[in-house]
Structure 1
Amino acid sequence: MAQVLLSLGSNLDREHYIAAGLDALAELFGELALSSVYESESVGFKGSPFYNMVVAIHTDLSVAELSRNLKQIEDANGRQRNGPRFCSRTLDIDILTYDDQVGEIDGVLLPRDEVDKNAFVLWPLAELLPNQCHPVRHLTYAALWSAYDQDQKLWPVDFSWHDQQISYAKAKD
């Protein structure tokens, strides 16, 4: 089974759609490994702040089958595909990595280019899998996060899913 890292994001009814995305992923793939949920300013356009997180799954689906399933989850949650690339959205689920595969596979570029460019992807990755290496850069996500120097604002938020606190606005005392 392949380990796949996914990025989830929403800036419309954020709590509802992140939870709905997690529900759908759990139904399809079973156990999920979850980062904290982070709130971030919109990147690439002026819009409401996003909630973002990273989810690790294991699957036997091909990249094409996985991509189709993720688009179906997005569509079932009101995702509009007729707007500009950078716009508000109910639910966005992106494949970040699929094992250590590199290149365009089934129309999906792996690893996703934004992995080490956007704090809302890299910080959750560094939290969830600090010692795992980026398949191209061959540096750990913790090392990439430590060297990150972009000016993108984000912060962890309180977030519960299925009555379990998965994220805290600040470190527990």
Structure 2
Amino acid sequence: MTETPNPHIIDADTLTGEMHPIRRAVLALGSNLGERMASLQGAVDALADTPDVWVTAVSSVYETDPVDMPEDAKQFLNAVVLIDTTLPAATLMDRALAIEDAFHRERNGERNAPRTLDVDLIVVGDRRSDEDFLRLPHPRAAERAFVLKPWHDLEPDAVLPDAGPVADLLESADQSGMKKREDLSLDVQ
């Protein structure tokens, strides 16, 4: 049975007896427009403020050259956040999109356009999805050093489902254009 902090609020799980497993999720953050560091910190804070989400680790910040973007695109700041959550993957995706929107992410239909904030779900437990709105594991994570390196820093033995150990994927990924920013760090509330 699920306990609720307020005894006057009835938790739906209490009524149905349904259990929501705790899943480990990996989220990648990126920003190359505006106050990049403030956007990343805001995303970490928003995730930490999300009910049924517990931020367990935040990586170092990396500055990276843009990948598959217009030539004049500015460098990104990137980080990875590990969370434990009981939220369904689709709900977590909705939350990620809402966080992007709160930081004025513009979606103009242009693929890989510069952005104030990008919050990508890389993995959510062992969940697989090939829906248009949710692809898990993230289809390009295996080739993106700006995801693999910060994730590997946090979990050297991590495995990307259907792709293999993150350490092996990182060895094959192009890490040029990536620099760890020792002068920047993200705080967890």
Match of 2:45 among 20, 23, 29: 23
Unaligned runs of 5+ in 2: 1-21
Partner of 2:3: none
Deviation at residue 151 of structure 1 after TM alignment:
6.0
For residue 16 of structure 1, give the secondary structure of its aligned residue in structure 2: helix
Partner of 1:160: 185
Taking the TM superposition and a 5 Å limit, the aligned residue runs for 1:91-110 are 91-104=117-130, 107-110=133-136
Partner of 2:146: 120
Q: Distance in 2 between matches of 1:26 and 1:81?
A: 25
Partner of 1:76: 102
Deviation at residue 149 of structure 1 after TM alignment:
4.3
Matched, 1:59 2:80: no
Q: Which moved more, 1:66-75 or 1:128-137?
A: 128-137
Q: Distance in 1 between matches of 2:120 and 2:188?
A: 25
Rg comparison, structure with higher value = 2
**Cα shift readout 1:97-153 (whole Å, capped 9, x = no counterpart):** 01122342583111112211111111112111110212112x32122212x243641
Report if the CA contact (8 A) 1:4-1:59 is conserved. Answer: yes
How many pairs does the alignment contain?
162
Provide the TM-score with structure 1 as the length reference: 0.85
For residue 125 of structure 1, give the secondary structure of its aligned residue in structure 2: helix
State the percentage of identical aligned residues.
36
CA distance 1:30–1:36, shift in 2 (3 Å): same
CA distance 1:162–1:115, shift in 2 (3 Å): closer
Matched, 1:2 2:23: yes
Report if the CA contact (8 A) 2:58-2:186 is conserved. Answer: no
CA distance 1:162–1:84, shift in 2 (3 Å): same
Deviation at residue 83 of structure 1 after TM alignment:
4.5
Unaligned runs of 5+ in 1: 165-173
Report if the CA contact (8 A) 1:101-1:135 is conserved. Answer: no
**Structure 1 stretches of 4+ moved >6 Å:** none
